[in-house]
Structure 1
Amino acid sequence: MSSPNQGGEREKLISKLPAYLQQALKVRAAQLQTDMQDAVTAGIQAWRASSEQLPTVDTAGAASFGTFLPEGLYDAFKEDCRDRGVSYIQGLAQSVALWLVEHPADLDAEPHTRRIIVCNQKGGVGKTAISAGLAEALAEGSIAASGGALETASEAAADGLRVLLVDYDAQGHLSHQLGLKAIPAGEESLITHMLHREQAKHSLLDLTVTIEGARFGGRLRILPAAFDAFLLDSGLTVFRGPRHATLERALAPIEEHFDVIVIDSPPSLGLAMDAALYYGRQREDEKPGSSGLVIPVEAEDTSAQAYGMLIQQTDSLARDYDIAIEQIGLVVNKFDSRRGYIATSSLDKWKALGTPPVLAVVPDLKEQREAVRKQRPLLDYAPDCDQSHQMRKIARAVKTA
């Protein structure tokens, strides 16, 4: 079946696909850093254009599968299936199989865990909300995202990414909003692994906590804040070694367990922020745009000033270490057109930048505040609200960057 998607640009497809094809599609799309919905779209278009008789795919035991297609493509696809005398499930399976054949994995390339640094020197712009919402949307399976019912654990785990959300802000708002306490001072934490790794007795993975919710299928974890983070800048001042690489040296040992790591950064331009920016740089053999900065801003003048300060710091760090730090995009947060000319004209200015692009405009609605009060993930508390849809829009942009 299909139904109109938000904005009318795409249609929701809920069908069935063999589990082995679902897994192969997920892995290959991750290897090629392609959004799964774009891979399925390309597969269906190639299937429709093919004049050859494609081999029959064994679809016995096919499980629920959901994605989005460009408006009108699903109806055209179904008509072609009828003309060719195959079921919709068989046609979809052949399309995915064809895409896999036409898009082989680059076995020579070492896949990197993507690193998304959510940052802005200005406080109060919603870095924590965007960090959490983006991570939730990346971990959310396509069936859940499309509004389909989750009936089995395998459906819940359809194609969401394995995501680690790092509360890198000493204030610990992210941890608190998700019902967690910051790690007490003196106990092992991210700060221990950054400054005193030789004293660490546990893997950082052991300190992470799974964020509950059927939509996330156990794929979303958080590394809580640490009270010791207030001392991080002063600790980095006397650190013996490359200070800019301390966050990377702490997180690198656990990167293999995650597809994406999202860092909720502090409102700071200090040494700790340098370490976060360096961690988000483009690595060797990494596709441009895979990792980098997502910058929440507001539609008002002081956000533009703070953005300029952040970019100065980023450019300076990039020059000092001869690295590339990419701006994946801006998120205009807490937007309310009723605030008048300042809001609307500021939004126009953000969009006029062009580079980096505005990934989404998140409205100032009650659902985010309610989710915080109830200490629940936004996409679990209000999955169908406009704010949740905008978080998914950011996630799609990040996936395809």
Structure 2
Amino acid sequence: MASPTSGEREKVTSKLPGQLRARVKIRAAEHQFDMQDVVTQALQAWQQAGSQAVVDTSGAPPFSTWLPLGVYDTFKAHCADRKVSYIQGLAQALELWLADHPSPQEEHVATPHPRRRIMANQKGGVGKTALTAGVGQAYAEGTEHDGPARRVLMVDFDPQGHLTTQLGVDNLALDSDSLVKHMTGEAKGDLADLIVPIEDERFGDRLYLLPACADGFVLDVKLSTIRAREAALERALEPVEEGFDVIVVDCPPSLGLSMDSAIYYGRRRDEEKTGASGVVIPVQAEDSSADAFTLLTGQIEDLRQDMRLEIDYLGLVVNMYDSRRGFIATSSLQAWEDIGDPAVVAVVPDRKEQREAVRSKQGLLVYDPKCDQAAAMRQIARTLS
């Protein structure tokens, strides 16, 4: 609600998650902005940006600020058009403002390396493939608000080949060259020859896939026989790195040597800034994801200590979330948010569009670029920019 005052502004009262409010307050101070000006900018940008990812606002405490006359009325009209609550619209707007105003303390340092996002969780069915495809597309798409379009390579490191199939590409034949053969020194050609474009006008000539091959099912056995096996994935991908700004790796549901190699590939290299590359962990709001998370982080910590590596957690993505599933879902989401480090960078709603995109063998941002899940993928790309 808004109450008019005698000046040029009116007091607006709403609700806002405490953690989001704290982040905005800190970022506003870093940029020397007044909070009421931040909210004004955020609401106006949100109205121009289109659909955004859903923000969890359950239990949000009251929040108030002063806005120029008419700003809040216009905002409420846009909320009605988008069928979102005023609280949800405000939260989305401020998340968008944060993405558009990165901290001066976190400015990117140019390096000769692509940014590497390792999508990892040994539990199957948590959405690693959907996240790899969606975020890869979001990076390649680029918009005024989501940042510049990037050259992206998606690596299907899972021998089941779900990413490859989902994008309408054939898996590599067993008797052909493959990523596995390049990792184990058995390849006869160049890895670049295996990479295929994902063609759509949304992505220009910027989105590519390294398809899967079923020989990945024996990768752990083969890695056990080679030297410096943790660096095998890096050695294989290094010849093509210079052609890409971002490399997104869809990992298999495994805790074996192949996962060691993927985690090692995502380590922070000497020239890189903290958070430039690292591990993204898709989870679901249910108990078995928590058990899997403990196993994966244990493996990462072992590699950190044994090899003295710097491995950054880029964040948790709570996938296929639906609060209508009741206490298990809502309490699990709260438990993920309570971890704090790694932080929950997005909550992706459970919607039919992702399943329909898979069935149609199209990327989500091609099949339905305006759906809630597509907006969530763009939010993740912004957050992990």
TM-score interval (norm. to shorter): 0.7 to 0.9
Which of 326, 329, 334 is residue 343 of structure 1 equivalent to?
A: 329
Which of 190, 197, 222 is residue 235 of structure 1 equivalent to?
A: 222
The residue correspondences of 1:188-207 to structure 2 (distance < 5 A) are 188-196=177-185, 199-202=187-190, 204-207=191-194
* Structure 1 residue aligned with 2:201: 214
Distance 2:113 2:379 in 1: 23
1:171 has 2:160 as partner = yes
* Structure 2 residue aligned with 1:276: 262
1:292 has 2:264 as partner = no
Cα offsets for 1:316-336 (capped at 9, x unmatched): 011111001111000000111
The residue correspondences of 1:1-400 to structure 2 (distance < 5 A) are 70-72=42-44, 110-142=111-143, 159-196=148-185, 199-202=187-190, 204-239=191-226, 241-399=227-385
Distance 1:73 1:376 in 2: 30
Q: Which residue identity lines up with residue 268 of structure 2 in the other structure? A: Q
Segments of structure 2 that go 5 or more residues without pairing to the other structure are: 1-15, 17-26, 34-40, 48-66, 68-103
Q: Number of residue pairs matched?
A: 297
Note the C-alpha offset of 1:106: 9.8
How has the CA–CA distance of structure 1 residues 200 and 317 changed in structure 2, closer, same or farther, with 3 Å as cutoff? same
- State the SS of the aligned residue for 2:118: strand
Note the C-alpha offset of 1:73: 7.7
- Sequence identity (%): 52
Q: Which residue identity lines up with residue 121 of structure 1 in the other structure? A: Q
The TM-score normalised by the length of structure 2 is: 0.72
Q: Which residue identity lines up with residue 219 of structure 1 in the other structure? A: R
Distance 1:263 1:139 in 2: 15
Distance 1:306 1:180 in 2: 30
Distance 1:317 1:119 in 2: 15
How has the CA–CA distance of structure 1 residues 340 and 194 changed in structure 2, closer, same or farther, with 3 Å as cutoff? same
8 A contact 1:166–1:264 mirrored in 2: yes
Distance 2:113 2:214 in 1: 30
Note the C-alpha offset of 1:112: 2.0
- State the SS of the aligned residue for 1:328: strand
Distance 2:345 2:362 in 1: 24
- State the SS of the aligned residue for 2:121: coil
- State the SS of the aligned residue for 1:214: coil
8 A contact 2:122–2:296 mirrored in 1: yes
8 A contact 1:191–1:232 mirrored in 2: yes
* Structure 1 residue aligned with 2:85: none
Note the C-alpha offset of 1:248: 0.2
- State the SS of the aligned residue for 1:276: helix
How has the CA–CA distance of structure 1 residues 74 and 321 changed in structure 2, closer, same or farther, with 3 Å as cutoff? closer
Segments of structure 1 that go 5 or more residues without pairing to the other structure are: 1-8, 10-37, 46-68, 77-101, 147-157
Distance 1:331 1:141 in 2: 20
Cα offsets for 1:15-55 (capped at 9, x unmatched): xxxxxxxxxxxxxxxxxxxxxxx9xxx8xx9xxxxxxxxxx
Distance 2:320 2:45 in 1: 34
Distance 1:205 1:377 in 2: 22
Note the C-alpha offset of 1:257: 0.2
8 A contact 1:362–1:390 mirrored in 2: yes
Distance 1:387 1:110 in 2: 31
How has the CA–CA distance of structure 1 residues 318 and 217 changed in structure 2, closer, same or farther, with 3 Å as cutoff? same
How has the CA–CA distance of structure 1 residues 188 and 352 changed in structure 2, closer, same or farther, with 3 Å as cutoff? same
Q: Which residue identity lines up with residue 123 of structure 2 in the other structure? A: K
**Following superposition, which runs of at least 4 residues in structure 1 exceed 4 angstroms of deviation?**
72-76
Note the C-alpha offset of 1:71: 3.6
8 A contact 1:170–1:230 mirrored in 2: yes
The TM-score normalised by the length of structure 1 is: 0.69
Cα offsets for 1:71-129 (capped at 9, x unmatched): 458999xxxxxxxxxxxxxxxxxxxxxxxxx9xx999x643211100010111111100
- State the SS of the aligned residue for 1:216: coil
Q: Which residue identity lines up with residue 182 of structure 2 in the other structure? A: H
Q: Which residue identity lines up with residue 142 of structure 1 in the other structure? A: T
Q: Which residue identity lines up with residue 250 of structure 1 in the other structure? A: A
8 A contact 2:108–2:273 mirrored in 1: no
Note the C-alpha offset of 1:213: 1.5
Q: Which residue identity lines up with residue 200 of structure 1 in the other structure? A: K
- State the SS of the aligned residue for 1:296: strand
